[in-house]
Structure 1
Amino acid sequence: MLFLISLFFEVTQLTGIYGIYPHAYRLFDVDDLMLNTLGGIIGFLMAPLFTFFLPSREAMDSLSSQKSERVSYIRRFLAYLIDWFFIGIIGFLLTSIHLIPKRAVSNTVEVSYEHILYDIAIIFLYFVFLPTITNGFTPGKWIVRIRIASVAGTRVSFWQLLGRYTLFYYLLGGLILVPLNQQVQEIATPQIRLILFFISFSALFLFALHLIINFFRKDNRLFYEKMSHTVSVSTFKSKMPEIDH
């Protein structure tokens, strides 16, 4: 077969692509015929040596499926951004129909008490109440195909979601953001302000350190997940055909 392929090209060159050109632009060379055939044989014999180190198609499909089923921090962060984008739209609609004042959803430096109360309410409704009804889904999680579940593999409960997001948003978020609230800063003495800044910085630093450490662990659940006995699971369904044994 290799000899015939090489012969085909040599004849093509000799005949000027079978008469399309009036003169052959190259000559028929027996040495080329022999070398091309020998090179093809050597390549054929060496191919298994190189393909041995390459993954099989089944292994590549399996790896792709595993990566899709794994819930990475990047995937979770993307869901977080999408959810807060939707929360922003909700806030815009509520202020547009004058159900809440604009200062309650304002993202300016002058964060008011109304803004804090609004955040508490919207976090409860969006991240606790809604996933309780939708079996662990929020719009952001549904888009990236993940949901919150109990570590036991059962449907996540209202109390688990409440514990999860109380720890994450109300406790951790409160320790980071509330000390920096302008109205809190205005009524605090310089010494109290320094203490509040230290609390905020320490909470942010410890969480960042916790995040980095857990990134390299097999069980990469964060503290609020472990304490609430919840886990982020993928809803991706593998399309690989099952092999009958």
Structure 2
Amino acid sequence: MSAYLGPVKTALITFPFLALVLALPFLVIVYRRYGAFSWWRAIVIYSFIFYLLSAYFLIILPLPSREAVAQFTGPKYNLIPFMALRYFIHTTVFSPTNPHTWLAALKQSAFIQPFFNIVLTIPFGFYLRYYFKRSVPQIIIMSFGLSLFFELTQLSGLYGFYPRPYRLFDVDDLILNTTGGLIGGVLAPILMQALPSRDTMDAKSQARGVRVTLMRRLVAFFIDFMILSTIVSLMIRFLFRLLGWAQLPDFLSEMVLPLFFVFVIWPVFNDGKTLGKSLVRIKIVRTDGRPVGFWRLLLREALLYGLAYSSLIGASNFLIEYVVLGHQTEINLAALGFFGLISVLVVLNFIWETFTRHYRFFYDAWADTTQISTLKVSADVKQHTADDEQ
């Protein structure tokens, strides 16, 4: 049993890091397709990823040393089908005419190993049928493909890391894994009765997608502020060095120009959508629905970054100056009070709008702008959701 628990424990340790890496792409895909986040969809997708990670570790772990593998002299592959069945018949105590031997035979390795290869891919077939809505023939083909990937991983010596295979490439494993996937696909409709259907998940998410949630905006903000602005900043610095011009002050090359390009210039020419907003299907418009213009965008971003963001940074810097470093001058105190007051008002505004779930923060109110979803929801989706809720 420890041979199976060890790889699963490794998967448990690795999974949080993989989940963190996949979080942004997952959220972008969800918001782009459906417009709303669903906890049940997240559970299904992430459990599927964890299953695949565990299955992969089960077929490659434990890893021997390269020196030990170099000394192996055994066969590299078995291309004769049903050798596992022959091995079970000839090496176990199983006797068809003696029921007392049946249970004992199930405890022997000649049964446990093939049985494990079937069980390994049963969840794969279930996920394919339940969430990905694949037909039984497609499940058979995809289960065979997954098994072939596992076997080739072993045959290649972990993609060339080892001088030769450290596990046997076995055609019986292909048969057993494919059978397991088929079993999972066939049994899926029985278990699906107790779970929300994929159509229900999609319909509810798309119906809620007409509303722009805070999480949806934060995903767009992360892409624009953390990723795109950083890339633009590096490009500006590179361009200025390439042209031999004097180096820009850091606050211009790192903040002002990148933010101006990403949050003002880009959406002006892209119907009120930054790159992040385009990916999650939202855009900025005036409160009456008309397109937002350059000056209104400039005012909006000046309030957000020039006033709110700068005040938070200023309050933090002067707090360090006055309290931590001990530079308790009247100027530092006045600056701390000024930036601190603005920061408190900004934070209170964000807390209030988040608590009330209006999400129309002060910079949108003052600039007369709002954010709307660009996701198109069909009448069928709305009807499907209404019927499901009755």
TM-score, normalised relative to structure 2: 0.40
Matched-pair contact (CA < 8 Å) for 2:314–2:336: no
Alpha carbons of structure 1 residues 73 and 116: separation in structure 2 relative to 1, 3 Å: same
- Who is 1:163 aligned against? 299
Output the CA distance in 2 between the equivalents of 1:208 and 1:127: 21
One-letter amino acid matched to 1:157 = G
Contact map agreement 1:141 1:147 (CA 8 A) in 2: yes
Partner secondary structure for residue 174 of structure 1: helix
Residue 12 of structure 1 aligns with which residue?
none
- Extract unaligned runs of 5+ from structure 2: 1-95, 101-194, 322-326, 384-390
Output the amino acid matched with 1:80. Answer: F
Question: How far does the alpha carbon of each residue in 1:34-91 deviate from its partner, in whole angstroms, 9 at most, with x for none?
Answer: xxxxxxxxxxxxxxxxxxxx99999765532233222111211121111121111111
Map 1:66-85 → 2, pairs under 5 A: 66-84=207-225, 85=227
The aligned residue for residue 224 of structure 1 is 363
Counterpart selection for 1:95 from 220, 224, 237: 237
Contact 1:69 1:234 in 2 (8 A): yes
2:251 equivalent in structure 1: 116
Matched, 1:198 2:337: yes
2:356 aligns to what SS in structure 1? Answer: coil
Over the matched positions of the two proteins, sequence identity in percent amounts to 29
Aligned-partner Cα distance in 2 for 1:218–1:120: 30
Larger Rg: 1
Matches of 1:59 and 1:95, distance apart in 2: 49
8 Å CA contact 2:286, 2:369 repeated in 1: yes
> Corresponding residue for 1:213?
352
The separation in 1 between residues aligned to 2:197 and 2:237, in whole angstroms, is 56
The answer to whether the 8 Å contact 2:230/2:258 transfers is no
The ranges of structure 1 where at least 4 consecutive aligned residues each deviate by more than 4 angstroms after the TM superposition are 21-25, 54-62, 99-102, 178-182
Quote the RMSD (CA, aligned, Å). 3.5
Q: Which residue of 270, 274, 279 corresponds with 1:134?
A: 270
- Mapping 1:28-67, distance limit 5 Å: 62-67=203-208
Report if aligned partners of 2:315, 2:340 keep a CA contact under 8 Å in 1.
Answer: no
Are the counterparts in 1 of residues 232 and 258 from structure 2 also a CA contact under 8 Å?
Answer: no
Q: Which residue of 2 aligns with 1:177?
A: 313
Listed one character per residue, the Cα deviations across residues 138-178 of structure 1 (whole Å, up to 9, x for unaligned) are 11111222111111112112222122112111122232334
SS state of the match for residue 194, structure 1? helix
Higher helix share: 2
How many residues of Structure 1 are paired with residues of Structure 2 in the alignment? 184
Change (3 A) 1:101 1:201: farther
The match for 2:280 is 144
Shift of 1:239: 5.1
Check whether the contact 1:147–1:235 (CA below 8 A) recurs between aligned residues: yes
Which sections of structure 1, spanning at least 5 residues, go unmatched?
1-20, 26-53, 105-113
Distance 1:196 1:82 in 2: 32
Distance change in 2, residues 1:95/1:23 (3 Å): same
Structure 2 CA distance for partners of 1:235 and 1:101, relative to 1, 3 Å: farther
Instruction: Please say if residues 172 and 203 of structure 1, whose CA atoms lie closer than 8 Å, have aligned partners that are also in contact.
Output: yes
